[in-house]
């Protein structure tokens, strides 16, 4: 549904996209992850026709961006990071009288569609209020409503829940999750927990390039090996040198009496490490296997991995 090939986009001396390529499968919820300034918003602006690349090509619904623009706009829903509205209008008026007619939805159909979508995004009780009095979270909800009113085949969402409280985030993420299989969704965010919860496929971008793209479980399994976390009653002393020398240990970090070992062979590591600790007479307060999280993968791949 979405295909990007070697996109390049510069703003002055800043290279926002540096040969970005990716694909989004039909009906998928694609989590588009990256640190601030990685190029996520620029990508969404190009896909929605709001910006032009310096080079490279992109297709949505089989049509190349820049060609047949009107046809594409009627089939795509877009939620920018900071949606803007006419403050003197109410959400009902905005959707029924302004947005719906842009997609050739008029009269009773427009009114019914507006009411239904306002209820879906949690704005039914505020449908008659002026938008100028809305909080940022309420504006984000209304932005999602305008992106959904014409039942698009593709949704481009830029930080769709960043301004919402925990209850609001859960509600809107459930709404997005319910669109799985019906609409192809490219969701740009920096909130890892949201991606972990609803996305089928994850793409991580850094400095304008795609670092990795994979199904969530495959990414966790293939990118990082598991870790042993050991908490001792006393200083490990010479035992730490033994641990660092083992062929199944790829990384060793220590903070006070807490040790983290990144290992390649979990079974062998558990057996040998525990036996070695016992032979050294070291009292173990805690011995735990930690599977890599999406946060671990993200920090590792973007070069921001931190010490424990």
Which of 148, 149, 131 shows the shortest CA–CA distance to 139?
A: 131
pLDDT beneath 70, residues of the chain: 67-70, 222-224, 303-308
Query: Residue 205 to residues 19, 160, 193, 284: CA-CA distances in angstroms?
Result: 11, 18, 17, 40
pLDDT at 265: 86
pLDDT at 305: 47
- Cα–Cα distance measured from residue 140 to residue 142, given in angstroms and rounded to the nearest whole number: 5
**C-alpha 146: how far from chain center:** 21
| Neighbouring C-alpha atoms within 13 Å toward the C-beta of 125 | 2
Which of 58, 33, 26, 16 shows the shortest CA–CA distance to 202?
A: 33
Q: What are the tokens at 7? A: 């996109």
Sign of CA dihedral 31, 37, 43, 44: positive
pLDDT at 68: 59
Tally Cβ neighbours within 10 Å of residue 207.
Answer: 16
Tally Cβ neighbours within 10 Å of residue 13.
Answer: 5
Q: Which domains does the chain have, with CATH numbers?
A: 2-215 (3.40.50.300), 225-291 (3.30.70.980)
Give the phi and the psi of residue 46 in degrees, each rounded to 5: -70, -45
Q: What are the tokens at 76? A: 């795509």
Decide: helix, strand or coil at residue 103: coil
Which of 110, 107, 127, 111 shows the shortest CA–CA distance to 119?
A: 127
Give the phi and the psi of residue 255 in degrees, each rounded to 5: -140, 110
pLDDT at 109: 96
Which of 144, 152, 146, 156 shows the shortest CA–CA distance to 58?
A: 156
Whether residue 250 contacts residue 225, with contact meaning beta carbons closer than 8 Å, is answered with: yes
pLDDT at 60: 93
| Neighbouring C-alpha atoms within 13 Å toward the C-beta of 171 | 16
* Beta-sheet pairing, 154-158 with 184-189: parallel
pLDDT tens sequence across 129-181: 999 999 989 999 999 999 999 999 999 999 998 888 888 888 889 999 989 88
- Rounded to two decimals, the pTM is 0.79
Tally Cβ neighbours within 10 Å of residue 130.
Answer: 15
**Separation of first and last alpha carbons in the chain:** 41
Decide: helix, strand or coil at residue 148: helix
Question: What is the DSSP secondary-structure string of 205-226?
Answer: EETTEEEEEEEHHHHHHHH---
Q: What are the tokens at 26? A: 């039909």
Tally Cβ neighbours within 10 Å of residue 22.
Answer: 19
Helix (H) or strand (E) holding 55: strand 55-60
């Amino acid at each position: 549904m979405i295909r990007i090939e070697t996109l390049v986009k510069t703003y002055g001396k800043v290279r926002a996209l540096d040969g970005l390529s990716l694909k989004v499968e039909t009906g998928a919820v694609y989590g588009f992850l990256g640190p601030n300034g990685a190029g996520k918003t620029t990508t969404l602006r190009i896909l929605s026709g709001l910006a032009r690349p310096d080079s490279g090509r992109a297709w949505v619904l089989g049509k190349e961006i820049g060609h047949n623009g009107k046809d594409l706009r009627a089939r795509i829903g877009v939620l920018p990071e900071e949606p803007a509205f006419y403050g003197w209008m109410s959400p009902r008026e905005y959707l029924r009288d302004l947005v719906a007619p842009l997609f050739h939805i008029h009269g009773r159909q427009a009114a019914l569609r507006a009411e239904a979508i306002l209820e879906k995004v949690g704005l039914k009780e505020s449908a008659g209020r002026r938008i100028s009095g809305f909080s940022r979270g309420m504006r984000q909800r209304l932005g999602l409503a305008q992106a959904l009113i014409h039942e698009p085949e593709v949704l481009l969402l830029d930080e769709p829940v960043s301004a919402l409280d925990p209850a609001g985030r859960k509600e809107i993420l459930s709404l997005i999750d319910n669109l799985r299989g019906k609409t192809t969704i490219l969701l740009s965010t920096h909130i890892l927990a949201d991606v972990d919860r609803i996305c089928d496929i994850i793409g991580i971008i850094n400095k304008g390039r795609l670092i990795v793209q994979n199904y969530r479980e495959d990414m966790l399994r293939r990118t990082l090996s598991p870790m042993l976390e050991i908490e001792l009653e006393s200083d490990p002393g010479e035992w730490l040198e033994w641990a660092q020398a083992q062929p199944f240990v790829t990384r060793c970090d220590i903070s006070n009496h807490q040790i983290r070992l990144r290992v390649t062979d979990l079974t062998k590591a558990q057996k040998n490490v525990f036996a070695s600790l016992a032979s050294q007479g070291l009292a173990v307060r805690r011995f735990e296997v930690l599977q890599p999280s999406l946060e671990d993968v993200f920090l590792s791949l973007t070069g921001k991995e931190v010490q424990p």
